[in-house]
Amino acid sequence: MKSAFRWYGESDPIRLEHIRQIPGMRSIVSAVYDVPPGEVWPEESIQHIADACAAQGLVFDVVESIPVTEEIKLGLPERDRHIENYCENIRRCAKYGVKCITYNFMPVFDWTRTQLDRPSPDGSTSLVMYWEQLKGLDPLKDDIHLPGWDQSYSQQEVRELIRAYGELGEAGLWKNIEYFLKRVIPVAESCGAVMALHPDDPPYPIFGLPRVVTCEANLDRYLSIVDSPANSLCLCTGSLGCSAKNHIPAMVRKYSAKKRIAFMHLRNVKILEDGSFEESGHWTPAGSLDMNAIVKALVETGFEGWFRPDHGRMIWGETGKPGYGLYDRALGSAYLNGLIEANGGQIET
């Protein structure tokens, strides 16, 4: 398997020079961030990332993410133009060496948390979602600004989107997923790339928005819509793992054995009694997931894709993009390397 690290480009306070010093590090996960969703990425921008990585002995072969627009998810008239542009972005990325493209199908909001800097007794901070902090909030009435929510929407636009998704419902969302996959997967196949679907985070409806990438039955359904290795998963242990109903090691074993995991996001999460959750350090005893059982499942099924240490805590006084500091992710990476080695796995460099 291949060790990867997310890098937000030149504006990221974390430098490629530092990322390359993490033992076993090979791949950079990045994206073109200055083009609005639905538009085409300039080739020079993609090449620029690839060149910057190559200059540090790293490979830019994973994109996270090419965003799927609300127009595509809602099935609005502009979707065909957005899907055409999406396909063009796949072709362009593949031309510069990208082999894996991460995306999600979450309506309106990507991950949802209620606080991004919750202090732990040891002085570190991390992202949390406490039901207590969400209760009673109604996005159709209240002015809600949860941390991490896309600032480009006005409160009014958010309300309209929530209404539109309410009308669409899960059945409509599935139809739009099918429409998208049937057009995009053949393009990925033809240029030797795989699409890696990130699960919904958290994996249950928030504010009544339909969310379907949540559990094994729905992952099975998603993968069967286009039964091709190019229609694969970015299996995020922390996202699926904040629902106690998901048995993560078993899911990893199943989809990896079927060669339908392209990319692993590896992190731990601590589920609290009321279903709230806290992002914890990667170490198994720090959270609710058995990280060794997850890595063992990957090794035993011959996983050959990419893995990255997902979200770290903020430790040692580091400040920066929540979840994406250097120190704790580097500790996570080293820990994962240890688990892989102890389970007899290989890290490709």
Of 139 and 199, the one with the shorter C-beta distance to ligand DNO is 199
Q: Are 202 and 129 in contact (CB under 8 A)?
A: yes
Looking only at residues 221 through 250 of this chain, which bind ligand DNO when binding is defined by CB under 6 A?
236
| Contact pick of 3, 27, 30, 102 for ligand DNO (by CB under 6 A) | 102
- The correct pick among 61, 64, 70, 290 for binding ligand DNO (CB under 6 A) is 64
Query: In angstroms, how far is CA 148 from the centroid of its own chain?
Result: 14
Provide the greatest CA pair distance for the chain.
Answer: 54
282 is catalytic: no
Asked if 265 is part of the footprint of ligand DNO (rule: CB under 6 A), the reply reads: yes
214 in contact with ligand DNO (CB under 6 A) = no
- Which neighbouring-strand residues pair with 235? 264
Rule CB under 6 A: choose which of 45, 47, 56, 65 binds ligand DNO.
65
3-state secondary structure of 147: coil
Any long-range contacts for 312-316 (C-beta under 8 Å, 24+ apart)? 312/267, 312/281, 312/282, 313/120, 313/124, 313/125, 313/126, 313/279, 313/280, 313/281, 314/117, 314/124, 314/125, 314/126, 315/124
- Is 290 a binder of ligand DNO (CB under 6 A)? no
- Report how far residue 312's alpha carbon sits from residue 303's, in angstroms, rounded to the nearest whole number: 23
**Which is nearer to ligand DNO, 198 or 270 (by Cβ)?**
198
Q: Tell me: does residue 12 bind ligand DNO (CB under 6 A).
A: no
Q: Does 110 bind ligand DNO (CB under 6 A)?
A: yes
Cβ count within 10 A of residue 234: 28
- What residue has token string 């599935």? 174
Using the rule CB under 6 A, give the single segment among 103-111, 244-252, 286-294, 326-334 that binds ligand DNO: 103-111
Binding mask 167-206 for ligand DNO (x = CB under 6 A): -------------------------------x--------
Q: Record the tokens describing residue 235, joined without a space.
A: 């299996």
The length of the chain, given as a count of residues: 349
Query: Closest approach of Cβ 342 to ligand DNO, in Å?
Result: 26
Q: Known catalytic residue: 236?
A: yes
Catalytic choice (200, 201, 310, 328): 310
Work out the end-to-end distance of the chain between its first and last CA atoms, rounded to an integer number of angstroms: 9
Residues within the interface to ligand DNO (CB under 6 A): 64-65, 102-104, 110-111, 198, 236, 265, 311, 323
Q: What are the catalytic residues?
A: 198, 236, 265, 310-311, 324
